[in-house]
Amino acid sequence: MTCRVRTKAIIVGAVGIAGFALLTLLDSRIYHAINPTLASREWLDTQLWYLILRHTGSLWTWLAVGAALVGIAAIRRAQYPRRPIWLCGLFVTLSAASAGLAAELLKLIIGRERPATFEPLESGIELVYQGYQFRGLFASFTNGSGLGLPSSHAATAAGGAFALALLFPRVGLVAVALALGCGISRLLTGAHFATDVYAGVVLGLILSRLLARVMGIEPGGKPAGETPA
């Protein structure tokens, strides 16, 4: 690693940590500003825009995108004859999958619960804010439900979107916007803190870039050293 690359990595890392620290101070305020309830959750489930944003964080969505990219690559075979037709599709799908799986593993290790729990009140079952609650390091491996940090929806969406942005910058810009919207949709339901979503997005970005390096994919989707025929 050159000095320039190392310096850039340190700066990016410092900015990322500072962003997480800032959102940590704002987590409670953001949650209460949104003030999610069971009623608002039920309303969101009827909104098409919400369902689209939420399903951006589903691996099935990125499996479909990957399959579509394989089809596009097959059509463009004459332009890039040495490129495996599965390369771009596999890259996008693996990026989304690896980010989502990494998020699930980190949830178990960190053990921080979701912002609110379902509690029986006089008015019925309702969301009750509980703030930061940790189960203890590795304690969640016996019960992985109800964990929030990082958001696996946000990580999956970001992993796929940033991979797509590397392949097709214009289309990727829309995908990244949808991925960020997926993160916001998780805030609206009260399922996650802002730091949960932020960590998921950063995780997706990091893994998409690492995977691109491992697979030898450069911007535009061409393998290193390949030029159009």
Total-model pTM: 0.88
Could you write out the DSSP letters of every residue in 75-113? HTTTTSTTS-TTHHHHHHHHHHHHHHHHHHHHHHHH-BB
12 DSSP β-pair partners: none
pLDDT at 83 (0 to 100): 64
Compute the distance between CA of residue 139 and CA of residue 133 in angstroms, rounded to an integer. Answer: 13
36: Cα within 13 Å, side-chain hemisphere: 27
Closest CA to 161 of 51, 14, 83, 58: 58
Q: What is the mean pLDDT of residues 61-89?
A: 80
Angle between helices 169-188 and 3-34 (to 10 degrees): 40
pLDDT of residue 229: 41
Domain ranges of the chain: 3-215
Q: How many C-beta neighbours within 10 Å does residue 108 have?
A: 17
pLDDT digits (tens, 9 = 90+) for 19-51: 999 999 999 999 999 999 888 999 999 999 999
Q: Which of 182, 162, 202, 179 is nearest to 19 (CA)?
A: 202
- Among 114, 74, 76, 69, which residue's Cα sits nearest to residue 96? 69
Half-sphere exposure of 196 (CA within 13 A, CB side): 33
Does residue 227 or residue 176 have the better pLDDT?
176
pLDDT at residue 225 in the model: 46
Question: 175 near 160, Cβ under 8 Å?
Answer: yes
pLDDT in tens, 134-167: 987 777 788 878 899 999 999 999 999 999 999 9
